[in-house]
Amino acid sequence: MTAVPSTAVSDAVRVEQAARAVVADHDPRSVSREELFGALFDAGLAFVGFPEGLGGLGLSRGLQNVVDGVVTEAGGPRGFAINPIGYGMGAPVVVEYTQTRELAREWLRPLATCEHIWCQLFSEPGAGSDVAGLSTTAVLDGDEWVLNGQKVWTTLAHVSRWAMVVARTDPDVPKHRGLTYFVLDMDQPGVEVRPLRQMTGQAEFNEVYLNDARIPDAHRLGDVGAGWRVAITTLMNERTAIGGVTGRRGSGAIAEAVGLWQAHPEKRTPVLRDRLARLWTKAEAHRLTLARARRTATAGQPGPEGSVSKLVAAELNQEIYEFCMDLLGPEALLYDDYTMHRTERLAADPGATLQQRFLRSRANTIEGGTSEVMRNILGERVLGLPGDLRADSDRPWKEVPRG
Q: Where do the structural domains in the chain lie, given as residue ranges? A: 7-112, 118-231, 234-382
d(CA 261, CA 258): 5
d(CA 365, CA 264): 29
Instruction: Determine if the pTM surpasses 0.85.
Output: yes
- pLDDT, one tens digit per residue, over 303-350 is 566 678 888 989 999 999 999 999 999 999 988 778 888 887 776 556
Q: Which CATH superfamily is domain 234-382 in?
A: Butyryl-CoA Dehydrogenase, subunit A, domain 3 (1.20.140.10)
Average pLDDT over residues 351-380: 86
Q: How far is the CA of 217 from the CAs of 57, 306, 322, 390, in angstroms?
A: 29, 31, 48, 33
- If you average pLDDT over every residue of the chain, what do you get? 89
Who contacts 15 (Cβ-Cβ below 8 Å, separation ≥6)? 45, 48, 57, 59, 63, 66, 67
pLDDT for residue 1 is more than 50 = no
Catalytic residue positions?
Answer: 238
φ/ψ of residue 93, rounded to 5: -75, -40
Q: Do domains 118-231 and 234-382 have the same CATH topology?
A: no
Question: Which of 44-58, 117-131, 207-221 shows the lowest mean pLDDT across its residues?
Answer: 117-131
The confidence score (pLDDT) of residue 19 equals 97
Contact (CB, 8 A) for 208 and 150: yes
pLDDT for residue 41 is more than 60 = yes
Q: Which CATH superfamily is domain 118-231 in?
A: Butyryl-CoA Dehydrogenase, subunit A, domain 2 (2.40.110.10)
CATH code linked to domain 7-112: 1.10.540
- pLDDT, one tens digit per residue, over 5-22 is 556 568 989 999 999 999
